[in-house]
Structure 1
């Protein structure tokens, strides 16, 4: 039988460590010591084990479902336990080619409850989605939750985390809010490569994007939301109903998550990314507050070279604003910089990314061309056909790669024959 058993939940001061054992062939989907941890900037020794169990279960339960395995534990919160079937059903609807089965064995289901003392907590990365959700809910004075989930078995130095933390703390200070800071290895304790090798073709998506990240991020916040008696955790949307995309963080999943007396809300789903850019720049233009949007989640600062940076920059330009005013140190020759990037990278764009991001940016820039600050972009970007250019770039890439690979294979085979005959 394939099973995962949560053997120990060890709590000390502001940290909880999970130790688990595995039977059957699931071990290949985990790394090293079968260990997950969460560390907070609050003492958590007064939080019930039934609540602290939630993050571990949330991280592994999608794997239990798609592998038709069993998960065993001593106890779990009743509200979360009852939300699991609706969450599984939401995933099943999203990924119909994979059967979501599996079994949960629990010794004790505990009913937890509390009276609300805080209306909201908001997951806050400092990015466009998070800023939009903050602006929409700032009147609720939300706790700002910032997470880093890419440690290994223990806390390691990370310039990215230090930059994220510094930005979040400064932002909270400017708005008179409180920070919740969470560090973990939830993004690295599982072997995503092996899971993808076995399941990504049927899913049509990766483990992290399709099934894991939403539950991981939200569940890490649940123990502290319980401690501080939060009514609702807000998570910013990444997608929009105008272009349906399968994703681990989706309103059909997130809004089903319950814990004790608390709930989760997937915020801003009705907005496209361009809608959010307009909402954000209109707000900051009117308020005259300064802001730095943090787009590069694996860099200390916005690199202004990656796809995510550049589409955000161009979306700001499309609204008639200057990206340098929003934390992007773009080069003086920006139009040529974008052109060079697309020449090299458009072959890697998916049809979905082109439709839900780049084409919308182009359309908005056409509508608003009289207000575009970087006029030299208008000479070519509006007429750039992403689908055609992607196809051409892919053909060129495959041709240029084919002959060196063929030459290497022939050379290797010749050398082997030569060695056998000498």
Structure 2
């Protein structure tokens, strides 16, 4: 019988640790590292059933992919019911997911006092900043997570410092609290092995396509319990009308809950361009110096040369803002370079980028271009087949072969070859894992 067994979590000050074990057929998906998350508030008084939520939020989708069951000593009863709802959604979204059952020796149903606090997962990008603007009357705590796009590796220390400095500055200007947590959720799971097995079924990587809605919100459970947060918001990436298989959607995120806290997938009714409209109104009324951070390359500002920087800069112009005033070095001559890069397949694009460029194209039909160069780009965008821009992007053949080899290797062989596989991880970087 396939199973993942979760040992009892321990809380030492601000640090949560937990061991997980798997039957032989699932061992390859766990690296053997204990699951570990560090918060910036003490969590020792948080009930064990809530402390189990972060690790369960990571391993349950992995178990469901193999039809395996998960065993835990104690779990929050509300979260156990939430997992059933999320499982139903994910299994309906992906044919390769088989489902499974959570077995708990005990369930708890605490009744924490309501205090009206809220939290928002925040990076400073378009989506999370729009969600802040929409809920700013609640004065939400801004929550930033290290462990996905910024890894716990020492090489990423500077990126994490840059992000926390920027979020703290944003919060200080608005009288908000911040919360920062660091987790090894992706090195606790063998993400390259998950990618090797399941990349053929998903548009992005495992965590972006399957795990990140439940996973990121679940990480916040001890923090929310310690701080008394009743509402926890995560900004939507997509919007109504986009039918993509993605790990963060209303029918996933709105289902996540535990005693005293409900989670919300925010802004799904707005396209990305409409979210930029919300930010443009906020700039004009309250924040003329607002700067966004969306870059796929750096964290200490925006490179202005990656696809996401260009896409955001064009969107800002269409919203009536000057990109250079809000963190993007962009001038008319960049339109030609952007067109060539898109035509030449310089960036790996997925279906979500296709929808976002389509959103820009629809808005461009309503806006008078500011220059001949801008007009030429929008005319090109009107005529180009966006599907061609996506279909010609993809990982190199060597990456696909490496995935296939790892996927088909018996566990005993894989375990012997694991050091070589680890060395090859750099070639299997997460694709489009940004929000």
TM bin (shorter chain): 0.7 to 0.9
Q: Counterparts of 1:199 and 1:389 in 2: how far apart (Å)? A: 23
Structure 1 match to 2:109: 111
Q: Counterparts of 1:241 and 1:162 in 2: how far apart (Å)? A: 35
Return 126-135 or 302-311, whichever deviates more. 302-311
Change beyond 3 A, Cα 1:12–1:241:
same
> Following TM superposition, by how much is the alpha carbon of 1:250 offset from its aligned partner in structure 2, in angstroms?
0.5
**Contact 2:145–2:181 under 8 Å retained in 1:** yes
- 1:164-223 Cα offsets, whole Å, 9 max, x none, are 111111111111010011111113322222223323334565421221111121111111
1:380 maps to 2:366:
no
**Contact 2:296–2:306 under 8 Å retained in 1:** no
> Following TM superposition, by how much is the alpha carbon of 1:84 offset from its aligned partner in structure 2, in angstroms?
1.2
Change beyond 3 A, Cα 1:269–1:391:
closer
Change beyond 3 A, Cα 1:99–1:13:
closer
- 1:109-138 Cα offsets, whole Å, 9 max, x none, are 111221211331111111100011000000
Q: Counterparts of 2:245 and 2:390 in 1: how far apart (Å)? A: 28
Q: Counterparts of 1:391 and 1:323 in 2: how far apart (Å)? A: 24
**Contact 2:5–2:22 under 8 Å retained in 1:** yes
Change beyond 3 A, Cα 1:391–1:105:
closer
Report the 3-state secondary structure (helix = DSSP H, G, I; strand = E; otherwise coil) of the residue aligned with 2:110.
coil
Change beyond 3 A, Cα 1:36–1:152:
farther
> Following TM superposition, by how much is the alpha carbon of 1:329 offset from its aligned partner in structure 2, in angstroms?
2.5
Q: Counterparts of 2:387 and 2:122 in 1: how far apart (Å)? A: 36
Structure 1 match to 2:425: none
1:149 maps to 2:147:
yes
**Contact 2:152–2:182 under 8 Å retained in 1:** no
Return 246-255 or 283-292, whichever deviates more. 283-292
Structure 2 match to 1:263: 262
**Contact 2:204–2:350 under 8 Å retained in 1:** no
Larger relative contact order (Cα-Cα within 8 Å, sequence gap ≥ 6): 2
Q: Please give the residue correspondences for 1:299-338 in structure 2 after superposition, counting only pairs within 5 Å.
A: 299-300=298-299, 301-330=301-330, 333-338=333-338
Structure 2 match to 1:76: 75
Return 262-271 or 191-200, whichever deviates more. 191-200
> Following TM superposition, by how much is the alpha carbon of 1:286 offset from its aligned partner in structure 2, in angstroms?
2.4
Change beyond 3 A, Cα 1:266–1:125:
same
Structure 2 match to 1:292: 291
1:192 maps to 2:191:
yes
Greater Rg, structure 1 or structure 2? 1
Q: Counterparts of 2:12 and 2:389 in 1: how far apart (Å)? A: 55
**Contact 1:145–1:181 under 8 Å retained in 2:** yes
Q: Counterparts of 1:195 and 1:259 in 2: how far apart (Å)? A: 27
**Contact 1:124–1:130 under 8 Å retained in 2:** yes
TM-score, scaled relative to structure 2: 0.83
1:66 maps to 2:65:
yes
Q: What residue ranges of structure 2 are gaps of 5+ in the alignment?
A: 398-435
Change beyond 3 A, Cα 1:16–1:156:
farther
Equivalences, count: 393
- 1:380-422 Cα offsets, whole Å, 9 max, x none, are 3322333279379949x9xxx9xxxxxxxxxxxxxxxxxxxxx
- 1:133-156 Cα offsets, whole Å, 9 max, x none, are 000000011111111114777776
Report the 3-state secondary structure (helix = DSSP H, G, I; strand = E; otherwise coil) of the residue aligned with 2:52.
helix
Report the 3-state secondary structure (helix = DSSP H, G, I; strand = E; otherwise coil) of the residue aligned with 1:353.
helix
TM-score, scaled relative to structure 1: 0.86
> Following TM superposition, by how much is the alpha carbon of 1:352 offset from its aligned partner in structure 2, in angstroms?
4.8
Q: Counterparts of 1:230 and 1:11 in 2: how far apart (Å)? A: 19
> Following TM superposition, by how much is the alpha carbon of 1:42 offset from its aligned partner in structure 2, in angstroms?
1.0
Structure 2 match to 1:415: none
Report the 3-state secondary structure (helix = DSSP H, G, I; strand = E; otherwise coil) of the residue aligned with 2:294.
coil
Runs of 4+ that moved beyond 6 A: 151-156
Question: Superposition RMSD on alpha carbons, in Å?
Answer: 2.6
Structure 2 match to 1:226: 225
Return 259-268 or 34-43, whichever deviates more. 34-43
Structure 2 match to 1:7: 7
Structure 2 match to 1:344: 344
**Contact 2:145–2:182 under 8 Å retained in 1:** yes
Q: Counterparts of 1:389 and 1:214 in 2: how far apart (Å)? A: 27
Q: Counterparts of 2:351 and 2:108 in 1: how far apart (Å)? A: 46
Report the 3-state secondary structure (helix = DSSP H, G, I; strand = E; otherwise coil) of the residue aligned with 1:133.
helix
Return 270-279 or 322-331, whichever deviates more. 322-331
